[in-house]
Amino acid sequence: MNGVSQSRRQKTLAGQAGYSLTEMMMVVGIMGVVIGIAVVQIGSSRAGLKGDGAMRVVLSQLNQARELAITQRRNMRVEFNNGTTVVIKREEVPWPPLALGPTLTTLTSVPFEGGLQFLRIAALGDTPDAFGYLTELAFPAGTTQMRFAPDGTFINQDGATFNGTVFTALPNQNLSARAVSVFGSTGRVRGFRWDGKGWKPV
């Protein structure tokens, strides 16, 4: 009887035994690896999310400027100010007609958030549209005004249509790089995202 109860007691103690030190170390090691991977992923995702925010600002402002030009039958100038802000200004009809030029009414001024700026990371190259200009505001040389005409086209100070690209990014963070192309003859815009290997249309 004594032997039976001692055997039962040993089985009970064996069932209540905890994890060994080796098992605990393995679990902690695996958790460390998983946490490390998560931190890296969160860091790269954060840059990408900030880049998407800036791209959405540029896309929405350009689309809004085009729609306003069409509906209000006025030229809408688009300005890219302070390296971080997209501004829409309406050209008012000059009065008297021989005045030196239209007065401008600011309609919207939308800044980027999260440290984004107009910036082209040269190592990433041009977008698939290949407009081929080399600055963060990649418009043809001599372009001093960017505006949407009442017919929806994108024109310069001389009334000529032109294509261009607006690049945005965080400095030294390739995964935050975004680009928005503008097609002069139609005024249509489209965005591109850098995915680490190339520019992908959004």
Per-domain residue ranges for the chain? Answer: 22-201
CA dist 150 → 71, 140, 164 (Å):
8, 22, 19
Burial of 169 (0-12, 13-18, 19+ CB in 10 A): buried
Q: Which two tokens stand for residue 65?
A: 């400027």
Closest CA relative to residue 129, chosen from 174, 188, 81: 188
Instruction: Report, as an integer, the average pLDDT of 107-134.
Output: 92
Instruction: Report, as an integer, the average pLDDT of 165-183.
Output: 95
Instruction: Report, as an integer, the average pLDDT of 154-163.
Output: 96
Predicted TM-score (pTM) of the model is 0.78
User: For the segment 2-38, what is each residue's pLDDT rounded down to a tens digit?
Assistant: 555 666 666 555 555 667 888 888 888 888 888 777 6
Which pLDDT score is estimated for 183?
A: 96
Instruction: Report, as an integer, the average pLDDT of 110-129.
Output: 94
The residue with greater pLDDT, 97 or 150, is 150
Cα(150)–Cα(28) distance, integer angstroms: 65
Closest CA relative to residue 165, chosen from 149, 152, 177, 151: 177
Which pLDDT score is estimated for 111?
A: 96
What share of the chain in percent tops pLDDT 70?
A: 85
Residue 44 has pLDDT above 70, yes or no: no
If you classify domain 22-201 with CATH, what class do you get? alpha beta
Which pLDDT score is estimated for 10?
A: 60
Instruction: Report, as an integer, the average pLDDT of 35-52.
Output: 77
What share of the chain in percent tops pLDDT 90?
A: 66
Residue 134 has pLDDT above 80, yes or no: no
Q: Can you tell me whether residue 8 is helix, strand or coil?
A: helix
Mean pLDDT, the chain, integer = 88
Instruction: Report, as an integer, the average pLDDT of 129-148.
Output: 90
Instruction: Report, as an integer, the average pLDDT of 99-112.
Output: 90
Q: Can you tell me whether residue 50 is helix, strand or coil?
A: helix
